[in-house]
Structure 1
């Protein structure tokens, strides 16, 4: 049976943990065009899609692949995205309308979710571009049935979904959430009543360059206009030069931050920002402005998505 690599962490020094709002002290904003980034305007609450595009723009292999795919072989989604990445327009409105036609949760006028936007984009790009981030997960579940022999399947995914443990006694870190993704207990088996042990193994192809990880840092239950509370997540090894996930080595190259603005009419409102590595610093792309942080926040519950590049 294949071995699964788990991450061993040092104890957390909670005195060093920052509040999300204290995670950085930005320098003066500067115009994005002078920095080589896109200059996307935020019209009709489009920051969520701006961030999705900005993240792709900074994943070099993916950007080049999307732009260079022949127009006659590209979907309309990819053609519209390529125009933005190529600098032909600084508005995502046409792309937004296209994505809305596939997923009505992507609003034409209201706040929407960056992860939803990325998901639709990833479903409508060419196979070569798709192979740069897609991966396979081999899942095995064991219980008392079948003499304890594991059973499972292999499924292709575009993104990895990890979730914070809501138990107040648990110190969530990026590493512990990855470990929970790899090995976890699921509901008791209907046949033998034994709690099933689930083990996941990530399988990467040689063409894969990136791993996109979506983070759920909120408790599930909330009422009315009260936003679900955020669960602290300490960054652990996430900013290291080498991050080990299963049998691959990665480096964090980008992230999507969500600034929570509270609940309105039962919907969570907020503003999105895109973080990308810029030398030894982090550039924070905020629509038509950018500013810098010397380090990644210690508490990463403010992030919805992390983007890693495979180190080979």
Structure 2
């Protein structure tokens, strides 16, 4: 129970006790002029109760608004209740909590197979990642610079353009869209990286999106991971090419094929932690299969913080 609420209750109890005590001690005086006595004693009692109420309620409100407005660092200090912890340590924990306060209520990776090149033995695929960001804090706004990273799915010297990124954007709850790119940018073999500023109001929400295309090896691997916890995450593929696209969620199993115009949800997960990859494997189009060993896959250096090898759930 709040200590100031206890102060109010104890003060009222003391006032009532004193009133009852003096009433019992001065019965004779009361009998001579009951009206004057009770008016006097009730007036005095009301003044005392009013005092305790005003002081206590004021203290409770002051404490409440102090908590609503205090900086996150002070909350961290109060949470651990240890004055021996250094300022730099408290600051570090504050930044960790601030980063964890942003999560995805929903996220999706939408792939479209645009074409197949027999000479390159590769698919050209467009990628659209969509994240519904939420600020967990009800009274602390969020602002931070994050890195938008895209790695090419296929790196070969004979392919002049490995891929292009066309859009990185953040759309607020009010529908205000902020674009972080001016035009298309070629994705080099070293990967594309762009710092962006993400700002969310208290309890704020926003939609963060990235769009790009890349060549992918017909015997290669594709995977996605997020920088924040996602309550829901879905990966889907739609075939817009003229051939049947091969893929599998288990590299040791035969491929499935997606016909022209068909869309397949290949992963549907819940409570996905940060930096955990959802992966799948490509196969040549139906009728163009080759009896060759699958190439060993290594995670691109730009994604080195992500955990490789986490498999998606079975297709639904």
TM-score by length of 2: 0.22
Quick one: higher RCO (CA 8 Å, sep 6+), 1 or 2?
1
TM-score by length of 1: 0.22
Q: Which has the larger radius of gyration?
A: 2
